[in-house]
Structure 1
Amino acid sequence: MISSTFFTGLLLASSASARPAKRGTGEIKCPVVLSGFVPADMTPTDFDSYATSPFNPDYIRGTEKFSEILQFPEIEASRFDNASTRAVEVTINDKSIFQKQNGFRRAGLQIQGDTNENSPGTQGVKTLHFSVKQDAERTLNLTHEYLNVWHESADYSANQFNFQSGTIIGKSGSDKDSFKVLNRQNTQVWSTPIDATAWQNFAITLDFVKKNDNSGGGQYQIGILKKPTGTSDVVNSGYQETGIEEGQIYGGIFLEDSADGCVSL
């Protein structure tokens, strides 16, 4: 298992500010602000209802419901999952067009409670945890640029950070086979090779008080946004091949309060 921890903003040391909760090989030491843990007994249709899904059932997706585009692979637990929770796979296909964004193929998860305005996830110091795993049957086409996890400002004008894979448009020499973190200015600040078989674990700490420019509120996006090629207008046009069947497996998704330097490991 590969574990990678990186931070945009203040580099923080871990400390115990809440009762530790053992989950898998990891231990949650800090108060959980937003939980994206998927209960092991959830059924696909549970993701289509506000009453039963840990995520917003309406965003982000095309015309297909989440029960049609999410998969539940039978694999080993990620770092912060245990017997009571499970991994979930976000998939995209030719129909994965959100609203009128015809250039993108997109599907993603937004944790319930993560509102666009005055979200608890945009106050103080917060750390987003997530683990990713590749699906050998639904591989990403890394000649394209992908956004996998990011935080988008409330007015949609900027992303405080992007966790990406594939070929970054306009950045010659970028390694398509790596995960990359780009800051608000779209400058790459960190990368690590994509492991084709193992879980990879990540934590991103955002300081909304002192470090960097994390202004603008907004929401965390977790899933797949596949950009087209051959255009400068990536939202509305460009080339996307037909017959798309791609996926990204996620586990152990949660946002914790990192006040006083608390980060779970």
Structure 2
Amino acid sequence: MISSILLTGLLLASSASARPAKRGTGEVKCPVVLSGFVPADKTPTDFDSYATSPFNPDYIRGDEKFSTILQFPDAGSSRFDNASTKSVEVTINDKSIFQKQNGFRRAGLQIQGDTNENGPGTTGVRTLHFSVKQDAKRTLNLTHEYLNVWHESSDYSANQFNFQTGTIIGKSDSDKNSFKVLNRQNTQVWSTPVDATAWQNFAITLDFNKNTLQVYYSKDDEPLKAVTDALQNDNSGGGQYQIGLLKKPTGTSDVVNSGFQETGINEGQIYGGIFLEDSADGCVSL
């Protein structure tokens, strides 16, 4: 027979394991312009159709469909996720070649409704929210340069900002283990170390009226705080928000078309709480 003490312990352990993962308590306080929240009931094949995916099912990817690229790990919740939403992991492998960009290994998310010219994400004041978490089974090779989140102008000639990690080409590798925010001139305006276990929450405000950029940051379920002032930045040129992984090669000046990429790539970046809000009158969800 099982003793009453042992039985109580087993019941408590069972109850604890059955409890849902802790959910974020962040409140979205501003109007949402574009939603990249992933409903909890979505299945991999839902991301292959315009009718069922929160993202464009055709971009950005190579020949592989998003149902094979995206993973849904049990990573807990980022600050702005809740019981109705879940995180999503963007993965890359040796086949992750978009169009004919043979130098890159690339896969990424574009929120449906984010159009390239005169889109809702490039007017007024907009704040892009996203949280990231690392996958211990699909670590990034930080000897390479990665673009993780960026806003690309409609003519593809520039990025209004870059959120990057790894070894920036042409720079020292001393900061390779950090996330870095760069402005349109590719000047670093802020950085923070990559945390191997925590959720790291970011918000980037682009004021298209005043041409400024401002960065917010927190960990796990802590409220976001401004980590820069509103800095002057050229936000012109329209374009779209890119969220995912673009891994640059090494050993070349033509990073789009050539260079070294190791074989056997199996890397990923977990994202949560993706949304773009209207930050008119200084409104930012923290």
> Structure 1 length as normaliser, TM-score?
0.90
| Closer, same or farther: CA 53–241 of 1 in aligned 2, 3 Å | same
How far is the alpha carbon of 1:253 from its aligned partner?
A: 0.1
How far is the alpha carbon of 1:8 from its aligned partner?
A: 54
| Closer, same or farther: CA 45–14 of 1 in aligned 2, 3 Å | closer
1:87-140 Cα offsets, whole Å, 9 max, x none, are 000000000000000000000000000000111000000000000000000000
Higher relative CO (Cα under 8 Å, sequence separation at least 6) belongs to 1
Residue pair 1:144, 1:228 contacting (<8 A) in 2 also: yes
Residue pair 1:127, 1:256 contacting (<8 A) in 2 also: yes
Residue pair 1:15, 1:29 contacting (<8 A) in 2 also: no
Please identify which structure carries the higher helix content: 2
Superposition RMSD on alpha carbons, in Å? 11.3
Runs of 4+ in 1 over 4 A off after TM superposition: 1-23
Residue pair 1:147, 1:225 contacting (<8 A) in 2 also: yes
1:146-177 Cα offsets, whole Å, 9 max, x none, are 00000000000000000000000012255000
Residue pair 2:59, 2:110 contacting (<8 A) in 1 also: yes
Residue pair 1:80, 1:252 contacting (<8 A) in 2 also: yes
Greater shift, 131-140 or 11-20, is seen at: 11-20
The match for 2:282 is 261
Matched residues, percent identical?
90
1:15 is paired with a residue whose SS is helix
Distance 2:138 2:150 in 1: 22
1:234 is paired with a residue whose SS is coil
How far is the alpha carbon of 1:20 from its aligned partner?
A: 24
How far is the alpha carbon of 1:22 from its aligned partner?
A: 14
1:59-91 Cα offsets, whole Å, 9 max, x none, are 000000000010000121110001100000000
1:27-49 Cα offsets, whole Å, 9 max, x none, are 11100000000000000000000
Q: Which runs of 5+ in 2 are unaligned?
A: 209-231
Distance 1:23 1:248 in 2: 20
| Closer, same or farther: CA 184–195 of 1 in aligned 2, 3 Å | same
1:233-259 Cα offsets, whole Å, 9 max, x none, are 000000000000000000000000000
Distance 1:11 1:263 in 2: 44
| Closer, same or farther: CA 164–183 of 1 in aligned 2, 3 Å | same
| Closer, same or farther: CA 168–5 of 1 in aligned 2, 3 Å | farther
> Structure 2 length as normaliser, TM-score?
0.84
Distance 2:207 2:4 in 1: 19
Q: Are 1:231 and 2:252 counterparts?
A: yes
Distance 1:4 1:110 in 2: 55
Residue pair 2:145, 2:167 contacting (<8 A) in 1 also: yes
1:206-249 Cα offsets, whole Å, 9 max, x none, are 011xx521000000000000000000000000000000000000
Distance 1:10 1:56 in 2: 46
Residue pair 1:21, 1:27 contacting (<8 A) in 2 also: no
| Closer, same or farther: CA 19–246 of 1 in aligned 2, 3 Å | closer
Residue pair 2:21, 2:76 contacting (<8 A) in 1 also: no
Greater shift, 97-106 or 73-82, is seen at: 73-82
Q: Which runs of 5+ in 1 are unaligned?
A: none
Residue pair 2:23, 2:77 contacting (<8 A) in 1 also: no
Residue pair 1:9, 1:205 contacting (<8 A) in 2 also: no
Aligned pair count reads 263
Distance 1:181 1:6 in 2: 53
2:59 is paired with a residue whose SS is coil
How far is the alpha carbon of 1:17 from its aligned partner?
A: 39
